[in-house]
A and B are shown apart, each in its own frame.
Chain A
Amino acid sequence: SSELTQDPAVSVALGQTVSITCQGDSLRSFYASWYQQKPGQAPVLVIYGKNNRPSGIPDRFSGSTSGNTASLTITGAQAEDEADYYCNSRDSSGNHLGVFGGGTKLTVL
Chain B
Amino acid sequence: QVQLVQSGSELKKPGASVKVSCKASGYTFTSYAVTWVRQAPGQGLEWMGWINTNTGNPTYAQGFTGRFVFSLDTSVSTAYLQINSLKAEDTAVYYCARDANWADAFDIWGQGTMVTVSS
Chain A contacts to B: CB under 8 angstroms = 1, 30-31, 33, 35, 37, 42-45, 48-49, 52, 54, 84, 86, 88, 90, 96-103
Contact = CB atoms under 8 A, between A and B. Distances in A.
Interface residues of B, number: 24
B44 A86 contact: yes
Q: Which of A42, A44, A102, A103 has the most CB of B within 10 A?
A: A42
The secondary-structure label for the interface of chain B is strand
A48 to B, nearest CB: 4
B106 A33 contact: yes
Instruction: For the complex of A and B, list the 8 residue pairs with the smallest distance between their C-beta atoms, beginning with the closest.
Output: A33-B105, A48-B105, A42-B109, A103-B44, A48-B103, A100-B45, A98-B47, A102-B44
Contacts, number: 68
Interface of B: 35, 37, 44-47, 49-50, 59, 61-62, 95, 97, 99-100, 103-107, 109-112
Contacts of A43: 37, 45, 95, 97, 106, 109
